[in-house]
Chains A and B, each alone.
Chain A
Amino acid sequence: KNQVEQSPQSLIILEGKNCTLQCNYTVSPFSNLRWYKQDTGRGPVSLTIMTFSENTKSNGRYTATLDADTKQSSLHITASQLSDSASYICVASAGRGYQKVTFGTGTKLQVIP
């Protein structure tokens, strides 16, 4: 059974600090891994997409890493801002197409002044 597990479930950090969110996945055959940001009550928005051959991808202050051997990914947020407060969801896709996706339950990040 395909699974995606994220940790921690929730996190509180001070504005300006860095943080790292973790994602472990068991998806076969692995196609790609994505991180999404979801503000409360809104639809998720894509941050990064990584395929099997990619190790790192950045999007501004967000940097995602992927280790296909250990089936782990991380999302590092640098110099956090209050607007980073949201849920961050890890999504793994299986197979050749993009439609069979498995979502993690998300990490709820709160950035405080």
Chain B
Amino acid sequence: EAQVTQNPRYLITVTGKKLTVTCSQNMNHEYMSWYRQDPGLGLRQIYYSMNVEVTDKGDVPEGYKVSRKEKRNFPLILESPSPNQTSLYFCASTPSNTGELFFGEGSRLTVL
């Protein structure tokens, strides 16, 4: 089944404790991206990647890192999480020919 898989789906952590949210897609898509969704603000792009080893900042990259060592994986790293990073996070992959975003099921992160 074609899908984008995120882990963990739910996480409660404390300020400053490094964490990684994994994202994997099995559709051989070139593009991958990360978003956060907050009430009243909608989805905002954090980082995107156009191919392996090619990443770029989105609209709200502060406090986040990403890497794209393999085509299928695009992990989101929070080196030192803070409470303002409490949010619902979505990973998406996109085929280069259509631009359609295929989203994962989301990861709800709470930073205390």
Do A and B assemble together?
yes
In the complex, what's the smallest C-beta–C-beta distance from B104 to chain A, in angstroms?
A: 6
Interface size of A by CB at 8 A reads 23
Q: Is the CB of A98 within 8 A of B41?
A: no
Residues of B within 8 A of A (CB): 4, 31, 33, 35, 40-45, 48, 50, 56, 90, 92, 94, 96, 98-106
A55 to B96, CA, bound (A): 23
A88-113 interface bits toward B, Cβ cutoff 8 Å, 1 = contact, 0 = none:
01010100011111011110000000
Q: Is the interface of B mostly helix, strand, loop or mixed?
A: strand
* A60 within 8 A of partner (CB): no
> Whole-angstrom distance between the alpha carbons of A94 and B41 in the complex?
19
Given known A-B contacts A49-B99, A93-B99, A97-B50, A104 and B104 have beta carbons under 8 A apart = no
Tell me the bound Cα distance from A106 to B41 in angstroms.
9
- Bound CA–CA A103/B98 (angstroms): 17
The answer to whether B40 and A43 have CB atoms under 8 Å apart is: no
In angstroms, Cα B103 to Cα A6, docked, is 21
A57 at the interface (CB under 8 A from B): no
| A contact residues around B40 at 8 Å (CB) | 105
A contact residues around B100 at 8 Å (CB): 34, 46, 49
B99-A31 in contact (CB<8A): yes
